[in-house]
Amino acid sequence: MSGKRVLMAMSGGIDSSVAAILLLEQGYELVGATFRTFDSIRESCLKREKGCCSVDSIMEARYLAKQLGFEHHILDFRDTFRRYVIGNFVDEYMHGRTPNPCVLCNSHIKWGELVKAAEEYGCDWIATGHYARIAERDGHHFLRRAADTHKDQTYFLWMLTEENLQRTLFPLGGLTKPEVREIAAAHGFEALSKKTESQEICFVPNNDYRTFLTEQGCRMTPGEYVDAQGRVMGQHQGYANYTIGQRKGLGIATGTPQFVTRVDAEQNRVVLGSHDDLYINDVRARGGFFRGDASQPVLAQIRYRSQATPAQVKAQEGDRLALHFDAPVWAVTPGQSAVIYQDDLLVGGGFIE
């Protein structure tokens, strides 16, 4: 695209704010957008423009846009967010899987509803504060890992389409987090440069997903802990309270450390085993794609905080993938994403079965 008008997604945090600063310096015309997803903000709070009723981040984004001299809009995406993100979050847990809501939020909200807003405001591009880059190869667009490998967020962005990438800007892709903080401070936003980051799920208070599920009407019915042979070991407090690899909070004493190795939603059973029982080589994924060279090795990542490790794509049938890891990987968790890289380019992904 050759236009210079950009819809800048702003959270009120340091990353999107510095992204906005950098784009302005590059001569882009910005339109700021902050969206409401899951909150209980009263309209009176928005009119008063005060940091109340969980409106702090929206007001911070609006204030920054005003300081930098560009228009800002508050977009209400709560209905879509509840339908696609929260609905999936609850449904996955109730089917014994562990979801990653950021993946769906990025595809359905930030590159779904936001693209529609860009059209409405006459914007050629959308931009965010994600740590990611975009590369072209053989006439196609791919996500590329960020320069700051500790902050790289491509894992959460694997569902973005090539059409999405063709109109996206990632101003922070070539920077490290310390450099981003320095830029904020250098432009007079000292408080912003020292702002801490939240690692919590945005719509789950105190990161307590179990209470959240209960508040959404999910019943936690006690059931049986069993071993791999089906022998009863004790009683759990509802299968949705547990995830693969969990050791703490099981409430069971056997004399040896026990880990959750499988969650059986149909039978309301949680299977326990040893640490070594959680190692596997073969992983299946659904709802995905692969655009790499299947004859060549890949690196595959099964959770955000894990390293991508050598693997091979053994089969692809429609949107289903079969991966074989060269060395066993630990605690592969249904519902999480398996994301595939070749030469720092994101070439595939899917939801782990």
Catalytic residue annotation: 105, 202
Q: Going by C-beta distance under 8 Å and a sequence separation of 6 or more, which residues neighbour residue 135?
A: 141, 142, 143, 144, 345
CA angle at 348 for the pair 346 and 353, rounded to the nearest 5°: 135
Measured distance CA(21)–CA(3) in Å, rounded: 18
Work out the widest C-alpha separation in the chain, in whole angstroms. Answer: 67
Measured distance CA(127)–CA(150) in Å, rounded: 21
Q: Going by C-beta distance under 8 Å and a sequence separation of 6 or more, which residues neighbour residue 197?
A: 13, 14
Beta sheet of 168-169, edge-to-edge order? 71-76, 29-36, 5-9, 125-127, 168-169
| SS3 of 198-222 | CCCCCCCHHHCHHHHHHHCCCCCCC
